[in-house]
């Protein structure tokens, strides 16, 4: 849903920019046109991109690596897209507006020809283009297209109605209320079986695991990154004390649940070689 909403907003912004550019370039100089265009459209672009970047930026504080990487990537992509929109895109749009005002072709940058001079399909395809009249008050420059009439006479007046504003504010408050309620009732407990579809062949397997084997939850693996000198009996004693502390914490079930390689090695020395670990 997020993807489609972003795509719709981008299409709407592009349409508004195109309509505004087509209508404004007939009446304003290039400098005033670009300034007016940025003034009209940048607040909408800024609120759209920066709010989405902030929402994904919040996701970077999660402890799940996959979600964290995805949020970082998406946040950076949105920020870079926003910077592209207000820099390179505006510069390119000003050049395209200048070329159109000069009657140039959008691809070949050559002077376009009038429609009545285009005798062949190839000339119509390659050499036709917009040719604004030099006089800003000419009827061809004051005529509005159907899209402009729709936004100006229907869409904008409806949005500006007090009832529509109140309805939009009400829906936003309802949305915020549901969001706060959902955040306050988050609970840990996502089981693997809930990630499968109902007809998955693996679902009976996970149900059997939950019923017969997973009474104590998932196994916790602990890694000691800076291992001590295990040839020293005192160091081995400290390691065993650490393992005992973890095994008897409130979230564990005791020493009988521990799988520790050093205990297995000591058992191997006693049973197979009838000896113990030697200190150095």
Domain shared by 239 and 184, yes or no: no
Residue 241 has pLDDT above 80, yes or no: yes
pLDDT at position 126: 65
Distances (CA, A) of 149 to 71, 128, 193, 213, 249: 40, 25, 54, 68, 71
Q: How far apart are CA 59 and CA 75, in angstroms?
A: 9
Same domain, residue pair 87 and 19: yes
Residue where a domain stops, chosen among 73, 102, 131 = 102
**Same domain (yes/no): 96, 9:** yes
The answer to whether residue 208 sits within a structural domain is no
Structural domain span for residue 180:
144-188
Residues 178 and 228 in one domain: no
Looking at the structure, do residues 183 and 227 belong to the same domain, yes or no?
A: no
Query: Among candidates 261, 260, 243, which has minimal Cα distance to 252?
Result: 243
Mean pLDDT of 28-35: 69
Does residue 120 form part of some domain? Answer: no
Per-residue confidence (pLDDT) for residue 127, from 0 to 100 = 66
Q: Average pLDDT, stretch 12-18?
A: 46
Q: What pLDDT is stored for residue 177 in this prediction?
A: 95
155 with 250, same domain: the answer is: no
Query: Are 224 and 184 found together in one domain?
Result: no
User: Based on the domain organization, do 93 and 12 belong to the same domain?
Assistant: yes
pLDDT band at 167 (very low <50, low <70, confident <90, very high): very high
**Number of domains within the chain:** 3
Question: How far is Cα 238 from Cα 249, in angstroms, rounded to an integer?
Answer: 17
Domain annotation covers residue 115:
no
Cα–Cα distance measured from residue 156 to residue 151, given in angstroms and rounded to the nearest whole number: 6
- State the chain's mean pLDDT as an integer: 77
Question: 40 and 97: one domain?
Answer: yes
Return the percentage of the chain with pLDDT > 90, whole number. 10
> Based on the domain organization, do 98 and 159 belong to the same domain?
no
- Residue 129 in domain: no
**What does the pLDDT look like over 105-141, one tens digit per residue?**
777 777 777 666 666 776 666 666 666 666 667 776 6
pLDDT band at 217 (very low <50, low <70, confident <90, very high): low
Residue 262 lies in a domain: yes
Please indicate, yes or no, if residue 225 is contained in any of the structural domains.
Answer: yes
* Helix intervals (H) in the chain: 2-24, 30-58, 65-84, 90-101, 121-127, 139-142, 146-150, 156-159, 162-184, 203-212, 233-247, 261-272
Answer whether residue 193 is part of any domain: no
Q: Are residues 86 and 5 in the same domain?
A: yes
Question: Does residue 184 share a domain with residue 90?
Answer: no
């Amino acid at each position: 849903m997020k993807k489609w909403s972003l795509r719709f907003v981008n299409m709407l912004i592009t349409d508004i920019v195109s309509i505004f550019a087509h209508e404004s370039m007939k009446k304003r100089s290039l400098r005033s046109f670009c300034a007016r265009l940025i003034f009209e459209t940048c607040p909408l672009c800024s609120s759209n991109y920066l709010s989405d970047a902030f929402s994904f930026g919040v996701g970077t504080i999660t402890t799940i690596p996959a979600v964290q990487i995805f949020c970082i990537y998406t946040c950076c992509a949105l920020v870079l897209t926003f910077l592209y929109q207000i820099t390179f895109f505006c510069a390119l749009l000003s050049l395209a507006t200048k070329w159109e005002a000069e009657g140039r072709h959008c691809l070949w940058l050559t002077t376009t020809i009038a429609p009545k001079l285009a005798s062949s399909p190839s000339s119509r395809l390659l050499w036709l283009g917009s040719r604004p009249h030099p006089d800003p008050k000419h009827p061809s420059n004051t005529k509005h297209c159907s899209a402009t009439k729709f936004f100006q006479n229907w869409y904008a007046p409806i949005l500006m109605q007090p009832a529509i504003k109140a309805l939009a504010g009400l829906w936003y408050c309802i949305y915020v209320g549901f969001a706060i309620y959902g955040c306050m009732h988050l609970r840990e407990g996502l089981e693997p079986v809930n990630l499968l579809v109902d007809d998955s062949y693996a679902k009976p397997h996970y149900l059997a695991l939950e019923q017969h084997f997973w009474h104590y939850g998932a196994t916790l693996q602990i890694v000691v990154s800076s291992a001590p000198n295990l040839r020293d009996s005192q160091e081995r004693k400290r390691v065993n004390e650490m393992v005992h502390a973890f095994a008897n914490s409130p979230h564990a079930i005791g020493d009988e649940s521990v799988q520790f390689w050093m205990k297995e090695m000591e058992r191997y020395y006693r049973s197979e070689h009838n000896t113990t670990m030697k200190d150095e």
